[in-house]
Amino acid sequence: MLKGIIFDLDGTLVNSHYDWKLIRTKIGVVDIPILSYINGLNRTLKKRALRILESFEKSATENALLNKGVPALFSYLSKKGIRRAIVTNNSRKSVKYLLRKWNLVFDTIVTRDDGIWKPSGKPLELALERLGLRKEEIVFVGDSNPDRIAAEAAGIRFISINDAAGIEAIYSLIEDDNYLMTL
């Protein structure tokens, strides 16, 4: 039985626009994931790179749009007693800003500030631990390949969505326990 849903943030619940090419240029990243690159820097360069990333992140979150159907879905999940978590590679500061902006409540939030990020499965495992649930009681909803890889690494069922129609599909997935058991 489904007892909790872990959500990705960008592209899943909210639509925020990042100029990844410009961010990579400003930070000096060529062909590896930005957070992996930043994590390998010395303290001074790491601090500078994080400031650049956070500046772009601030702009993207201020202009982000909540995906259609999210408030109604969250009301439905509350009525069903289904717990919610966010696992995102964003900063905690930007996540809290968005949650306040749209009055969204989660049982736990895991961000890059926890020192782990997708595509590792560790952020999902941390969310699972904080929720006090088992892998078979959870599904991870995301929109990207790193989300899928993280779910596989953690051994958690994954549902890929990327628009309002995907949000709407979650209702039938919750009601169809047989489907969830086969994911």
79 and 166 in a single domain? The answer is yes
27 and 70 in a single domain? The answer is no
140 and 81 in a single domain? The answer is yes
56 and 77 in a single domain? The answer is no
Whole-prediction pTM: 0.87
53 and 111 in a single domain? The answer is no
CB burial readout 99-110, b (16+ within 10 A) else e: beeeebebbbbb
Determine the 3-state secondary structure of 73 from DSSP.
helix
24 and 91 in a single domain? The answer is no
88 and 56 in a single domain? The answer is no
How far apart are the C-alpha atoms of 60 and 54, rounded to whole Å? 10
57 and 97 in a single domain? The answer is no
- What's the alpha-carbon Rg for the chain, to the nearest Å? 16
121 and 177 in a single domain? The answer is yes
Query: Could you report the per-residue pLDDT of 108-156, keeping only the tens digit for each?
Result: 999 999 989 999 999 999 999 999 999 999 999 999 999 999 999 999 9
How far apart are the C-alpha atoms of 101 and 22, rounded to whole Å? 26
154 and 137 in a single domain? The answer is yes
* pLDDT band (50, 70, 90) for residue 14: very high
Contacts of residues 46-55 at CB distance under 8 Å and 24 or more positions apart, as own/partner, are 52/23, 52/26, 52/27, 53/23, 53/27, 54/91, 54/93, 54/94
Domain extent, residue 29, equals 20-62
69 and 151 in a single domain? The answer is yes
Spatial strand order in the sheet of 138-142 = 108-110, 83-87, 4-7, 138-142, 157-160
- Amino acid identity of 21? K
175: domain CATH number is: 3.40.50.1000
Query: Could you report the per-residue pLDDT of 36-89, keeping only the tens digit for each?
Result: 788 888 999 988 988 888 888 888 889 999 988 899 999 999 999 999 999 999
How far apart are the C-alpha atoms of 144 and 141, rounded to whole Å? 10
Domains held by the chain: number = 2
Identify the pLDDT of residue 35.
80
